[in-house]
Structures are given as C-alpha cells and as structure tokens.
Amino acid sequence: RLGGIQDSVDGFTRQTLVGLGLAPDWTCLELGAGAGSIARWLAECCTSGSVLAVDTDTALFGPARAPRLTVHRADITDG
C-alpha cells in the first residue's frame, strides 16, 4: 500500500521541494514519513544538513538507513 502511495506522489513531492530551493545544508523534518522514500531522498540531497523522519510505525524503514537520517518512532498527537 505504501509503495503505491510513494509511486504516485513522490515525484510531485520531490519537484515541490526542489522548487522551494532545496539546498545541501537544509535541516529537514518529515512527519508521517511512511516507508521513508522521501526522507532517504532528502538525506541524499542534504549532504551537509540532516533529516529527522518521524512516524508512528518505523518498521518499514528497515535496518538500512542513510547517512544524515535519523528515524524516530513517535505519535505527534500524544500530548
């Protein structure tokens, strides 16, 4: 299911971020990171920055993580 979502929207998301001026020194936060495709891509682009990916279920990130990428399991609606 997440693969299908990624396939249908990742291109638009990447295009939007590049259009905003994505730079190597960005510090990024991705909330609701899903399986991590955008978080991994951001970590590849932000070579002197960092990326924090947050989701309630981080199992799909698996053991392979990118440099500059931190994955945190959390529910941002918990008060």
Read off the pLDDT of residues 27-54 as tens digits, 9 standing for 90 and up.
999 999 988 999 999 999 999 999 999 9
Nearest of 78, 38, 44, 28 to residue 61 by alpha carbon = 38
Give the gyration radius of the chain's Cα atoms: 12
pLDDT at 1: 61
Cβ atoms of 51 and 28 closer than 8 Å? yes
State the pTM of this model. 0.86
